[in-house]
Structure 1
Amino acid sequence: MTSPFIYPQQPDVSFDGGDLDCGNGLLLLIRRHIDPLERGGLLEIRSTEISVDEDLPAWCRMTGNELVSFLKEGRQRSFLVCKGQLNERRAPSAPQPAQRGGIELVSVKPLTVFPAPAPAAAIRPLSVMGIGSWPRPRWMLQAVHEHMEGRLDEAAFHATADDAVSLAINAQLRAGADVVSDGEQRRDSYSSFVASRLDNCQLIPLTDLLPLVDDPEEFERELRALDVPAGDVRHPAVFGPLGRSRGIAVHEVDYARALTRAPVKVALPGPYLLTRTMWMECISDRAYDNREDLARDIVRVLREEIACLLASGAALVQLDEPVLSEVVFSGPATQRSFMCGALSEKGDSAVELAFARDLVNAVVAGFPRERIALHMCRGNWTADESKALSGNYKPLVDTLGQMKVGTLFLELCTPRAGEMEILTSLPDDIRIGVGACNQKHAHVETVDHVVAHAEHAIQLFGARRVLLTPDCGFATFADNPLNSAAVAEAKLAVLAQAARILRERHGV
């Protein structure tokens, strides 16, 4: 489609958003077209929606992109937006064919036969491990951003990430960890990274979501609590039927296992978290009638991924479901919350917990229970304890006990988590990964402190059911590590020393 508008600077890409407004899918299309451009690239957005006159300039100011020109002719509007600033523009590239608001959807045939799990070393009692994420080196953070912005190709990105993974695993082994992870070095965050791996899903900056929330001012305050620019934190958005044409994290496990003989664990965002994160009525209804329909496809792709992870030799696959705490510890039932990026509305707590339980059980059905785990906490986006949710496990313990997983990794070091005794009603065949150090604090706990805390857990659950971990990951969001790699290693080393004392004491 030829644009009726003529600019002194020809756009590199043009598309027609029709009558979509910024809160009903236009920003998703803009992000889809502008992200592949180099800085200085020009995008023309055509629209017939009057509200875009005010909303798009505001979006440009918020995201640091320059609105170069705005033209109107009758109902037709044309906005010329520069990615970054116009003074960054290089010699113009050849214009690409115009697109009419359309996004090419990918159709992928699901797996019908799962591969069998490969053997993996059993994880012995009182094993020490991290939850998942590890602080990234500065050069790895740069690579993450350049890769997301299309300025670093896949091969160069993974070559850089391989080096970062090697450093993370070596640090865990030096500390004495019994089970290691790749530190989630290739991920921009513990959950949103899936949008870069799944079909018909994409990452958009949190700033793009302001038109979608009920209280933009409150949402902006929550974003400021991240202590990192909101434009650097991205959120997965679904624009078509979800598919898995390539692995989500299989490549992570394959590389980690090539570096060590230690058991390797890998974390995936859980099905309830992904459903709450991805379901946004104004976007997701392009492909799904309701969130239950979306959830069915999320369950399917996670089951495909877990099967392949176990076949690749992952000793433990961990589902992250921190948003369970948001269900019971946050505000009114219909209030939107930033907690872990779960922006969609939640319903009654009992209904939501039952929905989460059923989704998790559907995902893990038929897999070896001893190789499946679930982690939850109360928020890990800031070191300020007062910003995170607080409450004991009483409203959650029944739901956790009904989930068909072999291990629960639980936040238990911080006072915000309440009394450990509440968990004694959990089934005896579930291991408890006991949070025994606080990843939010730079202070390294003493061995005596960890031994005493773990001994309390052993008296409640028995030594054979206890594993030792930090409360959560050290760098849940890549740009916002809660501690340095040196502190993370020191904390794991204390856990390992405590585990040696406890194994000798309890003969396990």
Structure 2
Amino acid sequence: MPNHKPPFRADQVGSLLRSTALHEARDRKARGEIDAAALKTVEDAEIRKLIAKQEAVGLKGVTDGEYRRAYWHFDFLEELDGVDAIAADSGMNFKGGVTIPKALRITGKVGFSGHPMLEHFRFLRDNVQPGSTPKMTIPGPSMLHYRGGRKMINMGIYPEMDAFYADVGAAYNKAVHAFYDIGCRYLQLDDISFAYLCDPAQREMLRSRGDDPEHQPEIYAGMVREALKDKPADLAVTMHLCRGNFLSTFIASGGYEPIADLLFNSMPVDGYFMEWDNDRSGGFEPLRFLPKGKHVVLGLVTSKTGVLEDRDALLRRIEEASKYIALDQLCLSPQCGFASTEEGNTLAEDEQWAKLSMIVEVAKEVWG
């Protein structure tokens, strides 16, 4: 049962550990020793190497590792019309670490009139080998609201939140079609809010700031529906869900049961990358809501440690998941990226590649 369309039987979320050369170049740029053009030269060279490594281990979906980004989400969102990046009072609190203090403020009508990441995709597109599929990853539309909420949105610009949600969905729709127009046929929305909404503590956080955690998932799903309105038939769109990933730490916990039906049946998404590398993610029972024609990529291999999973244990877990949906609807990947931020998780590059290689091998054994 090989799968020739995304998501692939052996796949990846997208971000990869930054190379030493890239870290050094970014540090030199921050100190003013090199300019943006010199940094881009290093990025280009390191991304070409990264593409070759992904193809060498047998991955069909190939990314740029998010090598040009500091964050998986800020770098995209802050380039939308009407969005400004600002210094925050504090960073995001993970269970074991705190990010740099940064936030997004809505200072104008949200829109899409072009984006630097279009050029990032063109470079990826032009450097993969025939037979590889260049994959673009961007944060889902809910991420412009979930972190900051109403207080980060200018009341004079958006006195009513419905207008904000509509504009974000429309901006994303333009982005989706802009990537498609330059050859993107595999697009991923990293929309972790849906997994966060399975955690009672996160739901209470939303309630305390004035949002309704019972209604918010449907609002976010509506933004995704708007983003994917008139989606071209040959564009594969996946959604990645996780519970936080920064220096191998996390934020949320809880199984997918509260959002499974909405997740699988209310949005025109082709596949879902879902975190199942530990007990915090619950069991596979929510898979029973997945309709025919969609795929779930089982995130059974952790990106948070370098310890290589037991091959037989992975096979058993895939078999367990297949009790709820057909084996043909399943794929395999890490539970998250290896470097959601430029700092990366606490494992070595060779451990990262060993995990990706094993995923390819296990997928061949299971699906042929």
Q: Aligned match of 2:190 in 301, 314, 320? A: 320
Q: 2:242 corresponds to which residue?
A: 377
Bigger radius of gyration: 1
SS at 2:201's partner residue? Answer: coil
- Three-state SS of the structure 1 residue aligned to 2:133 is coil
Residue aligned with 2:125, SS: helix
The Cα shift of 1:316 comes to 1.3
Return 5+ residue gaps in structure 2 as ranges: none
Report the Cα offset of residue 357 of structure 1. 1.1
Does 2:72 match 1:209? no
Q: Share of identical aligned residues, percent?
A: 22
1:397 aligns with 2:260: yes
Where do residues 183-194 of structure 1 align in structure 2 (5 Å cutoff)? Answer: 183-194=65-76
Contact 1:374 / 1:405 at 8 angstroms: preserved in 2?
yes
Tell me if 1:168 matches 2:50: yes
d(CA) in 1 for partners of 2:283, 2:210: 27
Q: TM-score, length-normalised on structure 2?
A: 0.87
Match of 1:463 among 327, 346, 349: 327
**Does the C-alpha gap of structure 1 residues 464 and 147 become closer, same or farther in structure 2, counting only changes over 3 Å?**
farther
- Distance, in Å, in 1 between the alignment partners of 2:267 and 2:33 is 42
1:441-456 alignment runs, 5 A limit = 441-456=305-320
Q: Are 1:133 and 1:183, in contact at CA under 8 Å, matched by a contact in 2?
A: yes
Residues 272 and 308 of structure 1: CA distance in aligned 2, closer, same or farther (over 3 Å): same
Structure 1 match to 2:289: 425
Q: CA deviation at 1:171?
A: 2.2
Q: CA RMSD in A?
A: 2.8
- Equivalences, count: 362
**Matched residues in 2 for 1:156 and 1:290: separation?**
44
Residue 204 and residue 138 in structure 1: after superposition, are their counterparts in 2 closer, same or farther (change >3 A)? farther
Decide whether the 8 Å contact of 1:144 with 1:186 is kept in 2: no
**CA distance in structure 1 between the aligned counterparts of 2:112 and 2:277, rounded to whole angstroms:** 37
Write the mapping of 1:2-401 to structure 2, written as runs, cut at 5 A: 122-123=4-5, 127-144=9-26, 153-205=35-87, 208-210=88-90, 222=93, 225-226=96-97, 230-231=100-101, 234-260=102-128, 261=130, 262-277=132-147, 279-281=149-151, 284-285=154-155, 287-331=157-201, 333=203, 335=205, 345=209, 347-368=211-232, 371-384=236-249, 387-401=250-264
In 2: Cα distance, 1:270 partner to 1:145 partner: 29
Which secondary structure state, in structure 2, belongs to the residue aligned with residue 435 of structure 1?
Answer: strand
Tell me the CA shift for residue 379 of structure 1: 1.4
In structure 2, relative to structure 1, the CA distance for the partners of 1:279 and 1:502 (3 Å cut) is same
CA contact (8 A) 2:187 2:237 kept: yes
Letter in 2 for 1:298: V
TM-score (norm 1): 0.65
What 5-or-longer segments of structure 1 have no aligned partner? Answer: 1-120, 211-218, 338-343
Q: Equivalents in 2 of 1:197, 1:185: separation in Å?
A: 17
CA contact (8 A) 1:242 1:298 kept: yes
| In 2, Cα distance between equivalents of 1:254 and 1:381 | 28
Deviation at 1:361, TM superposition (A): 0.9
- Tell me: higher relative CO, structure 1 or 2? Use CA pairs within 8 A at least 6 residues apart: 2
Cα displacement (A) at 1:311: 2.1
* Contact 1:123 1:263 (8 Å CA) reproduced: no
Matches of 1:332 and 1:258 in 2, distance apart?
41
Instruction: Identify the match of residue 339 of structure 2 among 460, 467, 475.
Output: 475
1: distance between equivalents of 2:77 and 2:223?
Answer: 19
SS of 2:257 mapped into structure 1: coil
Contact 2:43 2:68 in 1 (8 A): yes
Distance 1:311 1:458, change over 3 A: farther
